[in-house]
């Protein structure tokens, strides 16, 4: 479990399961982390690197996809090799949640992703 807030200003503390996190990114304007799940967006104070160390030290394996974004590879269903995007739904639509992958990190990310999540589809 991870205690997060429902608003950027810190209101509405709630607990979420780490396994429900799709990806996390750093908010450049504020010193906080934005967490995206299937149902909502949550917030944590502090730097992304700190929270990744905390989460990964608990046995999870979040991977950097660029310098300000980390993804939970267990929730990735497919990766578009042309546009370098990770998707979390079996059927990709306009409303599907996606996470962009930096071109210079793509090959390293896919290598680590396929080692941890053998069910992922590369399209």
Instruction: Render pLDDT for 31-83 as a digit per residue (tens, 0 to 9).
Output: 899 999 999 999 999 999 999 999 999 999 999 999 999 999 999 999 999 99
pLDDT (mean) for 114-119: 90
The size of the chain, in residues, is: 123
Confidence (pLDDT) at 52: 95
Q: Which residue has the tokens 């930096």?
A: 102
What are the beta bridge partners of residue 33?
26, 44
- Give the phi and the psi of residue 81 in degrees, each rounded to 5: -70, -25
pLDDT (mean) for 97-113: 95
Three-class SS of residue 56? helix
Helix (H) or strand (E) run with residue 2 in it: strand 2-5
Among 33, 36, 44, CA closest to 3: 44
CA distance 21 to 2: 10
Q: What do you get for the CA distance between the two ends of the chain, in Å? A: 33
């Amino acid at each position: 479990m991870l205690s997060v807030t429902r608003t950027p200003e810190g209101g509405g503390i709630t607990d979420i399961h780490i396994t429900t996190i799709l990806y996390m990114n750093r908010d450049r304007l504020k010193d906080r982390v934005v967490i995206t799940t299937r149902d909502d967006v949550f917030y944590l104070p502090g730097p992304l690197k700190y929270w990744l160390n905390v989460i990964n030290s608990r046995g999870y394996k979040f991977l950097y996809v660029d310098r300000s974004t980390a993804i939970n590879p267990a929730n990735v269903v497919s990766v578009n090799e042309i546009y370098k995007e990770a998707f979390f739904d079996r059927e990709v639509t306009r409303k599907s949640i996606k996470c962009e992958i930096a071109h210079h990190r793509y090959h390293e990310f896919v290598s680590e992703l396929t080692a941890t999540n053998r069910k992922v589809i590369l399209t």
